[in-house]
């Protein structure tokens, strides 16, 4: 029987990554939080489709070719005559951290992709970063979340905050709170939490119809999954020979969703998943994300999923 895929909603853009040296050279890599997450899911062996708008330019065509090569479904890709959006990455810090400057205005990002007409065709919906909360794509994402929730599809959301790409702070916080309200699983980094504030996060979670699972990631310090009934599961980050952290959070989330999909713990089953399901899936996600940090840009490894007990 064909398994239902995970649907990822988020941006696809070109990452301009600085090359080592002093000559100011940059290399263009396919990226964006939505693309990175879908790539990680596919390379971990789970079925996945991407919902994003792509340019008709040469980079947009590269995206379509790459998605097909990786086995990522493209039935819900939009097509825009505007150019591909860009993320210019500042020189990588000594700890591998990356800072971004975005070029989104008058690009393919401004167009919302087509929405699936059958939400029940998917095992899970994952939304990520500013592609879920900004402009026309953000408004369409809100409609998709409502449709998926009504169909009983589980939903996750990675805040993945990039302040330069967001509107005014209050508008951004309101949009993110609205997305959280529909979620079964919310992911944010320590940096994200510092930007939104602990009080805002607590209030947003408290306003949810059902308390979601909360995944906090903190780079080399690992991650913690918490949730109802006292759930508190830390996972350590394996030691790495750090190259850069580009896409590490996206890869962690993609690997986690792929592992939960393998164990049959998406959809309604996500709320019934046990500690063993989460512990095994988190450990796998940490290994995949750490391996991604040892190569330039976002290039997750192909690792076998843990076998369900």
Q: Domains in the chain and their CATH numbers?
A: 6-292 (3.40.1190.20)
CB 60 within 8 A of CB 108: yes
Q: Which of 250, 98, 257, 259 is nearest to 189 (CA)?
A: 250
Q: What angle do CA 122, 126, 132 make, to 5 degrees?
A: 125
d(C-alpha 150, C-alpha 20), whole Å: 49
Per-position pLDDT tens, the chain of length 309: 468 999 999 999 999 988 877 788 899 999 999 999 999 999 999 999 999 999 999 999 999 999 999 999 999 999 999 999 999 988 766 666 777 899 999 999 999 999 999 999 999 999 999 999 989 999 999 999 999 999 999 999 999 999 988 888 999 999 999 999 999 999 999 999 999 999 999 999 999 988 999 999 999 899 999 998 889 999 999 999 888 888 899 999 999 999 999 999 999 999 899 999 999 999 999 999 999 999 888 999 998 776 654
DSSP bridge partners of 14 = 30, 86
Angle at 217 between CA 249 and CA 285, to 5 degrees: 60
Is the distance from CB of 279 to CB of 257 less than 8 angstroms? no
């Amino acid at each position: 029987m064909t398994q239902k895929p995970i649907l990822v909603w988020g941006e696809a853009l070109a990452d301009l990554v600085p090359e080592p040296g002093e000559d100011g050279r940059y290399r263009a890599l396919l990226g964006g939080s939505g693309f990175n997450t879908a790539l990680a899911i596919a390379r971990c062996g789970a079925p996945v489709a991407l919902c994003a708008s792509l340019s008709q330019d040469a980079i947009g065509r590269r995206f379509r070719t790459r998605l097909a090569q990786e086995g990522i479904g493209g039935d819900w890709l939009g097509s825009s005559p505007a150019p591909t959006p860009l993320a210019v990455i500042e020189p990588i810090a000594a700890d591998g951290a990356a800072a971004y400057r975005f070029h989104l205005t008058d690009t393919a990002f401004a167009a919302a992709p087509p929405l699936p007409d059958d939400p029940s065709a998917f095992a899970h919906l994952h939304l990520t970063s500013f592609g879920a909360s900004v402009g026309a794509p953000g408004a369409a994402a809100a409609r998709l979340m409502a449709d998926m929730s009504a169909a009983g599809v589980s939903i996750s959301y990675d805040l993945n905050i990039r302040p330069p790409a967001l509107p005014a702070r209050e508008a951004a916080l309101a949009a993110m709170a609205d997305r959280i309200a529909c979620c079964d699983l919310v992911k944010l980094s320590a940096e994200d939490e510092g930007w939104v504030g602990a009080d805002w996060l607590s209030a947003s979670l408290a306003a949810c119809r059902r308390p979601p699972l909360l995944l906090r990631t903190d780079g080399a310090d690992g991650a913690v999954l918490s949730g109802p009934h006292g759930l508190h599961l830390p996972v350590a980050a394996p030691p790495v020979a750090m190259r850069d952290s580009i896409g590490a959070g996206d890869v962690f989330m993609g690997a986690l969703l792929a592992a939960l999909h393998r164990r049959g713990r998406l959809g309604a089953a996500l709320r019934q998943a046990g500690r063993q399901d989460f512990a095994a899936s988190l450990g796998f996600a940490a290994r995949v994300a750490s391996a991604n940090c040892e190569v330039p840009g976002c290039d997750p490894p192909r690792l076998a999923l843990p076998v369900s007990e």
